[in-house]
Structure 1
């Protein structure tokens, strides 16, 4: 059994497993940017295959897509033209002071900041990169969803999809690392050919709404929206800032914050 990340090492396979042909995530992001009057310059941090960055480019934005994966960046440059693509680390990056009007961080990318220092590094980098009054738009797993809930935990889930004539099967198990405040995932991939199974390990920080507000305030951000609901790759209409509740029930957490003007 080998270890690796089958999907992120093979971007075309990633897009086949998580299709978004209608560019719903990019449309949701553009909807929030327009609603809050963001300028044209956008940084898509953790851009992956570049499809959301390219969608924002087609909406008239000047977009830079950043990721740590060279495989993802190569795929984005080849298949999602328009944005500029650069390699950058989520935990700390410098792409120019006041170079952007908005930083976008989708698909729980922000939750790869596993420690407080890493989260501080990300938010300090956003503060450096944003023009005064710039926006941070993020979408991620909602840590509060797992308070008292076990329906997604300790229970292997089997899934399969077929791409280019090959069937890929996965067995996924989620566990809570309470001491580290992480949601850990173990996923084992098998295919119909003679390839050995591939085991993938990943983890996300479980951030709670008030905790996230505290970090944002410490870095000079004012929260404009923070609410739960379905992810932006689902069917619109998407959740608005007026969604009921205190971000405790939905699986996904939606954030829009503005950098204070000095």
Structure 2
């Protein structure tokens, strides 16, 4: 059977939200808790915002949110279904919002790991430092590359899952493999649906960053690492709950990062925090 290539969930964001429901808005609430805990100002940039659920959650909490993604389909869905933030198209490895500055940059759900190369990661951190006000926060949540050391991970047998949306059942078969030379977790996923549509084959990858490697990149780019831990978080088990104290280990399958641009660091520009107005 021949598969067409694409990304079913990115091309159809309504399916993404059906496949990964988040009725409790855990990711957005976790991010808001971190921002409050570390005293971040109201102007927030959400990078890799996807369908806009987390950006809208932060906006509802009183933030002035600009949300960026590379996918035009995701942004169109976000504007229609999760209004409030300002949605813009941008590449997180090299973004520039001119004279607008932000009190915090938030990057959830492993979006940072789409920076596959050192050059892309350097570009991301350079852009973050340039767009943050002195004392601004970088908050990120992602897979933990160290989790794959010494474990029989990823599983050798492809994972099979299914979900139903508007009467159609979608079935996926997902195979993961570690590309050690490129330091990537590569995924091949095949989708079929019972509505007669052609199967879809997806290929994607995430950078596998070790905690000390990530800490080094941040230090080189002038950030102070305030916390780097494996849980609790919105995608950990047990899951994060309001008021939970951050952990001290970095052994689990997720990493949670909080870093600060030093107060005396005026690198980039001296603009006022973003107002949230459409550029």
TM range (shorter): over 0.9
Q: Which whole-Å CA distance do the structure 2 matches of 1:244 and 1:80 have between them? A: 34
* TM-score (normalised: structure 1): 0.96
For the 8 Å contact 1:111–1:204, the answer to whether it is kept is yes
Structure 2 counterparts to residues 61-80 of structure 1, below 5 A: 61-80=63-82
Match of 1:212 among 211, 214, 217: 214
Within the candidate set 162, 168, 171, 2:170 is matched to 168
From 234, 241, 257, give the equivalent of 1:237.
241
Measured in 1, the distance between the counterparts of 2:94 and 2:166 equals 38
Secondary structure in structure 2 of the residue aligned to 1:185: strand
Take 2:199 and 2:14, find their aligned partners in 1: how far apart are those partners? 19
Mapped to 2, the partners of 1:72 and 1:8 lie a distance apart of 7
Equivalent in the alignment of 1:39: 41
What is the deviation of 1:244?
Answer: 3.8
**Unmatched tracts of structure 1, length 5 or more:** none
Within 1, Cα distance between the matches of 2:215 and 2:254? 16
Contact in 1 for aligned 2:235/2:254 (Cα 8 Å): no
Q: Secondary structure at the match of 2:125?
A: helix
C-alpha distance in 2 between matches for 1:59 and 1:73: 21
Show the counterpart of 2:88.
86
Q: 1:14 aligns with which of 16, 37, 41?
A: 16
CA shift at 1:153, angstroms? 3.1
Contact kept, 8 Å, 2:44 with 2:104, in 1: the verdict is yes
After superposition, residues 173-184 of structure 1 pair within 5 angstroms as 173-184=175-186
- In the TM superposition, 1:182-193 aligns within 5 A as 182-193=184-195
Task: Determine if contact 2:136/2:261 at 8 Å carries over to the other structure.
Answer: yes
Structure 1 pair 185–149 and aligned structure 2 pair: CA distance change class (3 A): same
- The 1-side partners of 2:176 and 2:227 are apart by 28
Q: Secondary structure at the match of 2:241?
A: coil
- What TM-score do the two structures reach when normalised by structure 2? 0.90
CA offset at residue 97 of structure 1? 4.3
Shift of residue 211 of structure 1? 0.3
- Preserved contact between residue 98 and residue 131 of structure 1 (Cα < 8 Å): no
Q: CA deviation digits over 1:157-207, x for unaligned, max 9?
A: 000000000000000011000000000000000011222211000000000
The number of aligned residues is 259
Cα distance change on mapping 1:154 and 1:127 into 2, 3 Å: same
SS of match in other structure, 1:7: helix
Partner Cα separation in structure 2 for residue 34 and residue 171 of structure 1? 40
C-alpha separation between the residues in 1 aligned to 2:124 and 2:216?
14
Question: Displacement, 1:151?
Answer: 3.8
Structure 1 residue 20 displacement after superposition: 0.6
User: Who is 2:110 aligned against?
Assistant: 108
Q: Which runs of 5+ in 2 are unaligned?
A: 265-279
